[in-house]
Amino acid sequence: MNKTYENLVSFLKKAKDKTKVYYKKLRSNDSFNAITGAILAIFIGLLFGVILMVIINPDNAREGISRLFKGYLNDPRGGSIGFAKMLTSATPIIFTGLAVAFAFKTGLFNIGASGQYTVGLFAAALVGILGDKLNSFQWIVAVLAGMASGFIWGAIPGIFKAKYNVHEVITSIMFNYVAMYVVNGLLNSDYLKTKVINGTTNRTIAVDQNARTSYGFFDTMFPNSGLDISIFIALGTAILIYFILNKTVFGRELKSVGLNRDAAKYAGVNEKKSIILSMAISGMLAGLGGALFILGPSVYNLGNVYAVENVIAGAGFDGIPVALLASSNPIGVIFSTMFVAYIEIAGGPMQSVGFVKEIVDIIIAVILYFSAFALIMTQNLDKIGTIFKKVKFKKKKKDDINHLETKAGEN
Amino acid sequence: MAFFISQAMFFIIPLLIVALAGMFSEKSGTVNIALEGLMVIGAFVGTFFVNRMQAIGFLDGAPQFLLIISLLLAGIGGAVFSALLGFLAINMRANQVIGGTALNLLAGALAIFLARQLQENNAVQISYNKEVFRLKSGFLEDIFPNINYIFFDQAYITLYIGIIILIISTIVIYKTKFGLRLSACGEHPEAAQSVGINVYRYRWTGVIISGFLGGLGGLVYALPISVSFEGTVAGYGFLALAVLIFGQWKPMRILLAAIFFGMFKALSVTFFSFDWISNLIEQYESVIPFGTIFRILPYLATMVVLAISSKKSKAPKASGIPFNFKGN
């Protein structure tokens, strides 16, 4: 009896030590901390949104909040179609998110995904509309054109950074506006205006059937939801980027320049070339996103269009929160994009019960705000433990003192 | 020409104020990418106040007084919003570029959200009558009609407020104990701490001043160029950041940089008012896309100038680096 008890105690003790070791290992794991931090930030952001909704419209809050959390399930054509629509809207954001994440991993902050997305979209649209002689190659050429123009547009801030030491945040932001004005100017030029623009709507016309992305088997699975094979290209690209960054010498070199430019230079890495290439590849990813967006068959095979307005593309900016929320992990980008798409798709249904859809944008911004110090928050989670220990310790000390005092009293 | 200069003023003054806003923050050691967001918040608070007061006819007889009150409110709005940056950058020691980006996103969403929530029919636009705020003074009209046009007839009081802010900023940064200590916190916070300067407090003050000026600058930008505010300042905060870098964190050079960019920006909206450009356009319209060129010129000029001036950057050394006070 006594022996079994002792065995049990030693077993429990061992188990406790093991969990402690395991926990310590987990705590020092970067991706564990990143994920806990992101989840904490998401929790705070959603809580903030819920409180906001209760304050501004208490009568409809219950319905509004339930619609927010239902996400794609709100779709009138059913949850599965809603799910497909969510994936459709998420696809370009995965690319711009990957663009921001890739640059960030190599120590660069690419706010210019919007401009790179726009030029990629524009180049792909031109090939898709004017290149009808290419026949079955039209799609491939359009995608390559989009990637190439994104590559070039991304390389510019890289060149400015590498050669002239101009901060890439400033350059890439400037080139968002330059891209938008140049593309809009070209679309309004005499040559393109009649061929590419629909005069009444001031939008581009849809690309040729030959240039459109295939629906794949999604057409029968989720009819008329707009979901096409680009989602697979997005997932594949994310895995490829993860592989390049973590498993290749090239990726290591790029990352080493991001960590310490001078050290990398000393180690024999051509740091200027690395910076330019990082930004260019980042731009290429955003350009690919733009191309696949405009080449997408869209709902009921109507094709996507680009509106000629003097507003820079929002898809580029959506890439920033998803990349940062994922701590710039390419695989994480997939999940964070899905999360953002999930709550963003609830914006419309929320509107019909009296909540403006900007609440979702606010929630995302709050999440990003908190994820900026998520790592510090997760580190403080441990501190909460030590605070408890301290309280205990103080109490013990107090007890000791009391004990001593009573002893002294006895004497 | 008078029309061009008067238009240029509407771009130069806000750029100047907002770049100075960025300067106060960066001098103290906090990078302020959120200038754009601060401008949006300031423009929202200011235009919304003007909209409501004009609707009920408050201070109709004293428009300049109303404008000054709304400028103060815009500044306070910006200062409150900048506290979010201060908390994140100073207390939480987080990545300031990510935090600033979050605040830029938040400001845009918040402005549209509040505009829709507070106005009838969920309207995003906040409209106002800006004409009442023009100075419309006939001072010097008979002797120098052009100068009168630029500085006293078409101008807003914000022109003079901008100049006053520039003068005060220069004095504060270079001639006061506060300014020198602020700069010390951005150059070498450990050294500052070692001589008994509370780095956290100075950084917080820098960020709050930055927020106040950024918010105020947002209204100064939004009011003259449009008849309504739609929740965006069109990347002007980033342009101001470029002005700050080109101005090498020095008030007078910031003024020159602001004039340089303001001129280009004004050119992109007034190029048709110059006869020789109009003639050029008429001749070569079919070959050269003038509209696009003039629109992208301010951005390209920024890039070229930054490429030339960034080699020997005089940025505060500790700017963007979180300060961690290791007590006893």
- Give the tens place of pLDDT for each residue, B108-162: 999 999 999 998 888 889 999 988 888 888 777 788 888 888 888 888 999 999 9
Class of residue B103 by CB neighbours under 10 A (exposed 0-12, middle 13-18, buried 19+): buried
The class (CATH top level) of B1-310 is mainly alpha
Task: With CA atoms as reference, report the closest residue to A113 among A283, A352, A268.
Answer: A283
**Tell me, what's the pLDDT at A299?**
85
Average pLDDT rounded to a whole number, residues A255-261: 87
Domain spans of chain B? 1-310
Strands B228-229 and B126-127 turn out to be antiparallel
Q: For residue A36, which phi and psi values (nearest 5 degrees)? A: -60, -45
Q: Do residues B241 and B214 touch, judged by C-beta distance below 8 A?
A: no
Q: For residues B197 and B178, what is the distance between their CA atoms, to the nearest angstrom?
A: 10
A263 against A292, higher pLDDT:
A292
Quick check: helix, strand or coil at residue B81? helix
Residue A354 region by backbone torsions, left for phi larger than 0, else alpha for psi between -120 and 50, else beta: left
**Tell me, what's the pLDDT at B26?**
94
> For residue range A178-188, what is the model confidence (pLDDT) as tens digits?
999 999 999 98
For residue B306, give both structure tokens.
């930054």
Domains, chain A, ordered by start: 1-57+358-379 (no CATH), 68-354 (1.10.3470)
Pairwise CB contact (< 8 Å): B101 & A373:
no
Q: Does B286 touch chain A (CB under 8 A)?
A: yes
Q: For residues B115 and B122, what is the distance between their CA atoms, to the nearest angstrom?
A: 7
Q: Does B281 touch chain A (CB under 8 A)?
A: no
The model's pTM:
0.89
3-state DSSP percent of chain A in helix, strand and coil, to 5: 80, 0, 20
Give whole-number Cα distances, B211 to A274, B37, B41, B173, B224, in Å. Answer: 37, 10, 10, 17, 21
Q: For residues B235 and A23, what is the distance between their CA atoms, to the nearest angstrom?
A: 46
Q: Do residues B110 and B45 touch, judged by C-beta distance below 8 A?
A: no
Q: Does B35 touch chain A (CB under 8 A)?
A: no
Q: Model ipTM?
A: 0.91
Task: With CA atoms as reference, report the closest residue to B233 among B11, B50, B25, B84.
Answer: B11
Q: How far apart are the first and last CA of chain B?
A: 63
What sign does the dihedral A211-A216-A222-A223 (CA atoms) show?
positive
Q: Does B235 touch chain A (CB under 8 A)?
A: yes
Task: Specify the amino acid at residue B130.
Answer: K
Class of residue A401 by CB neighbours under 10 A (exposed 0-12, middle 13-18, buried 19+): exposed
Torsion of CA B194, B199, B200, B202, to 10 degrees: 150
In this structure, the number of other CB atoms found within 10 A of the CB of residue A392 comes to 10
**Does residue A376 carry a pLDDT above 80?**
no
Mutant choice from A118, A170, A175, A186 vs B, greatest count of B C-beta within 10 A? A170
Between vectors from CA B116 to CA B111 and to CA B118, what angle results, nearest 5°?
Answer: 95
Quick check: helix, strand or coil at residue A198? strand
> Out of B88, B117, B311, whose CB is closest to A373?
B88
**Does residue A409 carry a pLDDT above 60?**
no
CB within 8 Å of chain B, chain A residues 100-159: 109, 111
> If you measure CA to CA, which chain B residue comes closest to A108?
B97
Q: For residues A379 and A373, what is the distance between their CA atoms, to the nearest angstrom?
A: 10
Contacts B110 to A, Cβ<8 Å: 358, 362, 365
Task: Specify the amino acid at residue B41.
Answer: I
Element at A203 (helix H, strand E):
strand A203-204
Between vectors from CA A213 to CA A210 and to CA A216, what angle results, nearest 5°?
Answer: 115
Overall residue count recorded for chain B in this entry? 328
The owner of tokens 């009558």 is B129
> If you measure CA to CA, which chain A residue comes closest to B294?
A181
CB within 8 Å of chain A, chain B residues 113-132: 113, 116-117, 122
Cβ within 8 Å of residue B326, ≥6 positions away: none
pLDDT band at A390 (very low <50, low <70, confident <90, very high): low
A&B contacts, CB < 8 Å: 127
**Tell me, what's the pLDDT at B328?**
38
**Does residue A367 carry a pLDDT above 80?**
yes
Q: For residue A230, which phi and psi values (nearest 5 degrees)? A: -60, -25
Lowest mean pLDDT among A38-47, A121-130, A135-144, A197-206: A197-206
Task: With CA atoms as reference, report the closest residue to A321 among B217, B22, B101, B126.
Answer: B101
Tens of pLDDT, residue by residue, chain B (328 residues) = 788 888 899 999 999 999 999 999 999 999 999 999 999 999 999 999 999 999 998 888 889 999 999 999 999 999 999 999 999 999 888 888 889 989 999 999 999 999 999 988 888 899 999 888 888 887 777 888 888 888 888 889 999 999 999 999 999 999 999 999 999 999 999 999 889 899 999 999 999 999 999 999 999 999 998 899 988 888 889 889 989 988 989 999 999 999 998 999 888 888 877 878 778 777 777 777 788 888 898 889 888 988 888 777 778 888 878 887 765 3
**Does residue A375 carry a pLDDT above 70?**
no
| DSSP for residue A307 | B
Mutant choice from B245, B288, B295 vs A, greatest count of A C-beta within 10 A? B295
> For residue range A98-130, what is the model confidence (pLDDT) as tens digits?
999 999 999 999 999 999 999 999 999 999 999
Contacts B245 to A, Cβ<8 Å: 167, 170
Element at A322 (helix H, strand E):
helix A314-325
Class of residue B269 by CB neighbours under 10 A (exposed 0-12, middle 13-18, buried 19+): middle
Partners of B229 in beta bridges: B126
The owner of tokens 């994440």 is A101
Nearest-Å Rg of the Cα atoms of chain B is 21
> For residue range A295-331, what is the model confidence (pLDDT) as tens digits?
998 888 888 999 988 888 888 889 999 999 998 999 9
Average pLDDT rounded to a whole number, residues A153-168: 92
Number of helices (H) and strands (E) in chain B: give both, helices first.
13, 2
Contacts A356 to B, Cβ<8 Å: 112-113, 116-117, 122
Residue A139 region by backbone torsions, left for phi larger than 0, else alpha for psi between -120 and 50, else beta: alpha
Quick check: helix, strand or coil at residue A58? coil
Give whole-number Cα distances, B249 to A234, B178, B204, B240, B286, in Å. Answer: 43, 17, 18, 12, 43
Q: Calculate the CA A70 to chain-centre distance.
A: 21
